[in-house]
Each structure stands twice: as C-alpha cells, then as structure tokens.
Amino acid sequence: MINKKISKILVPLDGSKNSIRALEMAISVARQFGATITGAYSTNIQPHSEFQGVIVNKELDNEIKKMMTNAKVLSAQNGIVFKEKLMRGDIGYNLIKLAHDKKEKFNLIVIGSRGRSAVRELFLGSVSNYVIHSSKIPVLIVK
C-alpha cells in the first residue's frame, strides 16, 4: 500500500477565479490529510529596479490584504490552518524557491491555470507552466 502523507500545501494566489478554485481544491485535499495551507502572493516588481523609491501602491496592498484575509477565512471555515507569504520579484522563480525551501517542507503545490490555448502559452509562457516544469514536488493544476 502506498502511504504518501501530505502535511503542507503551497497555493499561489493572485485573486483570479482560477486561483480561488485552486484554494478550494487545496482545502479539500488539506481536509483529507489534516494538512496546512500556505497562500503565496508574489508581486513582479524587482527589489532593486528603476522603481526603487516609488511608493508602493496602497490600493494594491489593500487588495492583497483583502484577498489573503478572504483565503484565511475560507480556510478557517473548513478547519484548515492558513499561513500567508508575500514576496517580490519574479513570480515563478519565487514560488519554486519557496516550494523547495528545506525549512518549509511542502508536499504539494496546488495552482490555478489561466486556461490559455497552447499557441498563446507557447508565445506568452505562464507561471503554472514554469512551476510544472521546475518543481521537484507534485503539482496539481486546477482549471
């Protein structure tokens, strides 16, 4: 019998419908295994760029706080512990770096897909595509 334990799930959040569906799927999996969820949001602003010194948009900060609060409430309503992680820089790179962090010990990434066509994805790329091909831990894509 296969005995795989899932104790920590990473869920990238961006406020889209697909990321909310990914959170809902992660909650379902977490309930089955008694796992915790870490919601991650990465702002694609390089920390040492030409934007240095620009005041961070308070509206964006408020949106992120609201999104994370909603995710925390939804998780708590389902009996799941939710932690949040905010990052700056390249989104895909940050997610993989967090997922592979030895201190965190994530067992699963649950990520929403934008559902782009194969042709558009070929030219535009996507965070979920990057995560699938770079992750050393299992990835569940939610459409």
Q: Hey, where are the domains in the chain?
A: 8-142
Per-residue DSSP letters for 24-64? HHHHHHHHHHT-EEEEEEEE---TTSTTTTSPP-HHHHHHH
Sign of the torsion formed by the C-alpha atoms of 103, 108, 110 and 116: positive
Q: pTM of the prediction?
A: 0.85
pLDDT higher than 80, residue 104: yes
The model's pLDDT over 30-73, given as tens digits with 9 standing for 90+, comes to 999 999 999 999 887 655 555 554 555 678 888 999 999 999 99
Give phi and psi for 136, each to the nearest 5.
Answer: -100, -5
For domain 8-142, which architecture applies?
A: 3-Layer(aba) Sandwich (3.40)
Which pLDDT belongs to residue 122?
47
What average pLDDT does the chain have? 86
Sign of the torsion formed by the C-alpha atoms of 93, 125, 42 and 35: negative
